[in-house]
């Protein structure tokens, strides 16, 4: 099993609701290693890159509004099959499909305000790590 890196981001609702510790505890309890972490404020430019697959959707402006409503916590998370494993730990994107026991299933309040981001492939993970932590990360 390959050791992989994935980009994980705790979204503004996670920080506002004081859930940082509880969500990080789940990531560490699963055995993943957090190799870098920082709090930051995002702007529309970086969000347009990060959510390039959604720019044409009618809800894109509301994603920007939500993701700029407060700080986020970005992390590099490492472990065996970390990309897929973190997606399982996070739960489904669709609010009604996120099962109990997953981070989104337990904490998300809607499909948009859903606590956490995780890369959807190893390739995108590396791109996102460089986007948020720099070319040498």
Q: Within 30-69, which residues bind ligand CDP (CB under 6 A)?
A: 51, 54, 59, 63
User: Distance between CA atoms of 83 and 7, rounded to whole angstroms?
Assistant: 8
Angle between helices 122-133 and 82-90 (to 10 degrees): 80
Which residue out of 5, 11, 104, 117 is catalytically annotated? 117
Q: Which of 93, 121, 122, 124 binds ligand CDP (CB under 6 A)?
A: 93
- Site map (CB under 5 A) of Mg ion, residues 96-125, x = contact: ------------------------x-----
- The least distance separating ligand CDP from the CB of residue 51, rounded to whole angstroms, comes to 6
Tell me the C-alpha to C-alpha distance, in Å, between residue 122 and each of 15, 36, 42, 88: 26, 17, 23, 15
């Amino acid at each position: 099993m390959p050791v992989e890196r994935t980009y994980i981001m705790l979204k503004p609702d996670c920080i506002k609701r004081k859930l940082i510790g509880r969500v990080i505890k789940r990531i560490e309890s699963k055995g993943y290693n957090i190799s870098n972490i920082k709090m930051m404020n995002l702007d529309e430019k970086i969000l347009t890159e990060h959510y390039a697959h959604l720019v044409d959707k009618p809800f894109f402006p509301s994603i920007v509004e939500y993701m700029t409503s407060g700080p986020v916590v970005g992390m590099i998370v490492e472990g065996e099959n970390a990309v897929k494993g973190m997606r399982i730990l996070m739960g489904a994107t669709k609010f009604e499909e996120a099962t109990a026991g997953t981070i989104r299933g337990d904490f998300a309040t809607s499909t948009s305000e859903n606590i956490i981001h995780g890369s959807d492939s190893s390739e995108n993970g590396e791109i996102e790590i460089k986007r948020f932590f720099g070319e040498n990360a």
